[in-house]
A = this chain, B = another copy of it.
Amino acid sequence: MTADVEVRLRADARRNRDQIIAAAKVMFTEDGPEVPMEEIARRAGVGVGTLYRRFPDREALIRAVAQSNFADVLADAKAAETEEPTAWDAFVRLVGRSLALRLTLQFPLWSLGMWEAMRDDLEITRFRDEILAILDRIVVSAQQEGALRPDVGSGDVAVLVSLLLRRMPVPTDRVAMMTDRILALLFDGLRAQPGGLPGQPITPSDLGKD
C-alpha cells in the first residue's frame, strides 16, 4: 500500500518529467537553446518551480534532452543493424531516415559550451560510444560488401551527417524534397570508388578525443 502510494507519486512525477523533456525537445528544436525556461514550463503544463525541481538549471535540462535524443538514436541504430538485409541498407536507413538522428545532431552544434557539457555527461558519452560502435560496424560491413568506398571511416560519416542534418530555414514543405536530394548526392559520393580522399579516415576514437 505504501508502495502503491509511492508508485503513484512517482508516476505523477515521472509524467511531469517526461512532459518537461518533451516540451523542451520541441522548444529547443524550434527556438534554440535559449528559449525562456518559463515558456518550456508553460508548454509542459507545469510551473517554473517544478521545472527547476527536476532540472537544477538550464544545462541540466539540456543534458536530459540530449540523453533522451541519444537513446532514441541508439534504438534506431540497433534496429537498422538488425533489421536490414545488407549493411549498406542499414547505413542508408540510419543516416538517411533516422529522424532521431537528425534532431540529435543539431543539438551539440549549438555552442562550444554545450558541446563540452555533453562530452562530460557520462550517460551521453555511453550512448554516443554505443552509437558510434554500431555505426562503425555498419561502415566496415558495407565496405566489405563493396557498397561503401573503402577510404572513409565511420568518423567521416559522423561528421558529414552532423553537418548535413540540420534544420534548413526554408518553408517546411520544400525541406523534405531538398533533404532527399542532398542525401542522394551524399550517398552517390560515398558509393563512388575513384581516387582517394585527402587525409586519413576519421574513426570513432578520433571523435572521442575532441
A185 interfacial contact with B, CB 8 Å:
yes
Q: How far is the CA of A32 from the CA of B86 in the complex (A)?
A: 42
Identify which of residues 191-205 in chain A touch chain B, using a CB-to-CB cut-off of 8 Å.
191-192, 194, 197-199, 202
| Contact B164–A185 (Cβ < 8 Å) | no
Q: How far is the CA of A115 from the CA of B181 in the complex (A)?
A: 22
A190 interfacial contact with B, CB 8 Å:
yes
**Identical chains in the assembly:** 4
Q: How far is the CA of A170 from the CA of B198 in the complex (A)?
A: 19
Q: How far is the CA of A47 from the CA of B202 in the complex (A)?
A: 46
A 152-172 to B, binary, CB cutoff 8 A, 1 in contact else 0:
100010011011101011110
Interface centre among A160, A181, A182 (most CB of B within 10 A): A181
Q: How far is the CA of A187 from the CA of B197 in the complex (A)?
A: 11
A111 interfacial contact with B, CB 8 Å:
yes
| Contact B181–A156 (Cβ < 8 Å) | yes
Q: How far is the CA of A156 from the CA of B160 in the complex (A)?
A: 17
| Contact A199–B182 (Cβ < 8 Å) | no
Which residues of B are found within 8 Å of A210, using beta-carbon distances?
Answer: 170-171, 174
Q: How far is the CA of A114 from the CA of B32 in the complex (A)?
A: 13
A188 interfacial contact with B, CB 8 Å:
yes
| Contact A185–B182 (Cβ < 8 Å) | no
Given contacts A163-B166, A163-B168, could you give 11 more A-B pairs where the C-beta distance is less than 8 Å?
A: A32-B111, A115-B169, A115-B170, A156-B178, A156-B185, A159-B181, A164-B164, A166-B166, A170-B210, A177-B199, A185-B190
| A interface list, Cβ under 8 A from B | 32, 34, 108-109, 111-112, 114-115, 152, 156, 159-160, 162-164, 166, 168-171, 174, 177-178, 180-182, 184-192, 194, 197-199, 202, 206-207, 210
